[in-house]
A and B are shown apart, each in its own frame.
Chain A
Amino acid sequence: MNAFLETFFKPNLIAQYLPSILKGVLVTIEIAVGVVITGLILGLALAVVRAFQIKAVNALIVVLVDMFRALPPLVIVLIVYFGLPNVGINIPSFAVLWLVLSLVLAAFAEEIFWAGILSVPKGQWEAARSTGFNFLGTLGYIVLPQAVRLTVPPITNRTVAITKNTALGTVIGVPEILSQATTAQSFSGSATPLMMGAIAYIVLFVPVVALGRYIETRFAWRRN
């Protein structure tokens, strides 16, 4: 037991590396919040554009969304990170991570929001239009409020799963939690910083996962 504590919870190492892990926590939170905001807004915007039913535009949206759903995020991160500088576009690594994860979240969110819009009965559209609402008014005041409510549980779960991918930033040198923890681990030759990193993720994400569980029962999206 003592050996276990000495390996994974060495007090002086905890004190020494706490500041850098906390710095990592801040970076992780910043990127995660950025991804959630841009990803969800872009996803909703794409779903709204899709509601206009312009064939060519919709085909393009479907292709893009499918691609970002089918590709592993790490593959996209590496293509953008290593490819763009060679064609003269230099963006910092944290921006690469934010951009890629935002696009991935937008793709999944578009699909979920679109399913929500489709699930609102046609009668709602017709009734709203017949009372004098135009297309956008119907969408904004009648359809979206109902659609978005239905999509809360799947959106929450998907958002949590994608924001956890901020850990991929360690591969391209974004100084987030995992990156700070592995650096500290190789400097100290101890597993304690890794344990600290894991605990930081648990403290950050367990409440969000638990919230997702609560929302799932609260808004219960029952398919049948």
Chain B
Amino acid sequence: MDALIHQFFNLDIMARALPLVLQGLQMTLLLCLVVIPLGLAGGLLFALASLSGSRTVRWGMIVAIDFFRAVPPLVLLIFVYSGLPFAGIRLSPIAAVALAFFLNTSSYYGEIYRAGIESVGRGQWDAARSTGLSAFQTLTSVVLPQAVRNVLPDLVSNTVEVVKLTSIASVVALPEMLYSADMARSVTFNASPIVLAAAIYLVMLWPVVRLISRLERRMAS
């Protein structure tokens, strides 16, 4: 039992690792600020393209979305980070992370938006257009507000997945929270710094996970 506490909950080591882990947390938050808005915006574009009137655009987009949902994000990230330089495209770690996660998260957000937009009845479009609203106005002030409300739990839940996803940026040596914690782990030969990082992830995400469960239950009833 003592060995267990010493190995996983060593407060001494946690205290020493804390400044480094907090530095990593800043990078994690920065990554979230880049990746989440990019994904939300890209997802909307993906969704609109996959609902396009042109059959070519529609099918092309569906293939692209399924493609990016089939490739594990870590594979995409490593491909962008260490594969593209062979083709002469050299990206900094943060640019590689932003590009790889943009393609991955936009595909997931895109599917959610699409389900939301499809859940809004066709009559809403026709009614809005017949009152003189343009197609753009119909989309932004009539369809999207209802669509987003209908899929809110899924949007929030995917956002949690994106925050968790930022942890794999550690693999390309981007000094986010898990990378910093793992550095501290390799210096101290002790897992406590990673447990500390885990605790910070829990503080950030647990309330949101609870919220999702409640949102989902409310939608179901």
Binding site for B on A (CB under 8 A): 3-4, 7-8, 66-67, 69-76, 78-79, 82-83, 86-88, 111, 115, 118-119, 160-161, 164-168, 170-171, 177-178, 182, 185, 190-191, 194-195, 197-198, 201-202, 204-206, 208-210, 213, 222-224
**Is B59 located at the chain interface by the 8 A CB criterion?**
no
B residues within 8 A CB of A198?
71, 75-76, 79
The distance from the CB of B21 to the nearest CB of chain A, in whole angstroms, is: 12
Chain B residue nearest to A88 (CB atoms) is B3
CB within 8 Å for A206 and B70 given contacts A72-B167, A74-B168? yes
The distance from the CB of B147 to the nearest CB of chain A, in whole angstroms, is: 12
CB <8 Å contact, A206 and B67: yes
Q: How large is the interface on B (under 10, 10 to 19, 20 to 34, 35 or more residues)?
A: 35 or more
CB within 8 Å for A79 and B195 given contacts A197-B75, A201-B71? yes
The distance from the CB of A177 to the nearest CB of chain B, in whole angstroms, is: 8
**Is B61 located at the chain interface by the 8 A CB criterion?**
no
The distance from the CB of A224 to the nearest CB of chain B, in whole angstroms, is: 6
**Is B185 located at the chain interface by the 8 A CB criterion?**
yes
Binding site for A on B (CB under 8 A): 3-4, 7-8, 66-67, 69-76, 78-79, 82-84, 86-87, 119, 150, 160-161, 164-168, 170-171, 178, 182, 185, 189-191, 194-195, 197-198, 201-202, 205-206, 208-210, 213, 216-217, 219-220
CB within 8 Å for A70 and B3 given contacts A194-B83, A201-B75? no
Cα A165 to Cα B67 with chains together (Å): 16
For this complex, 19 residue pairs linking A to B, each with C-beta atoms less than 8 Å apart, are A69-B160, A70-B208, A74-B170, A74-B178, A82-B191, A83-B191, A86-B190, A118-B217, A166-B72, A167-B74, A168-B74, A178-B78, A185-B82, A190-B86, A194-B82, A201-B71, A201-B75, A202-B67, A209-B66
Chain B residue nearest to A193 (CB atoms) is B83
CB <8 Å contact, B69 and A209: yes
A residues within 8 A CB of B216?
115
CB within 8 Å for A213 and B185 given contacts A75-B198, A178-B74? no
B residues within 8 A CB of A190?
86
CB <8 Å contact, B72 and A201: yes
CB <8 Å contact, A191 and B78: no
Cα A177 to Cα B205 with chains together (Å): 31
If A79-B191, A205-B71 are given as contacts, then 5 extra A-B residue pairs at C-beta distance below 8 Å, sorted by A number, are A69-B160, A70-B206, A87-B4, A191-B84, A208-B70
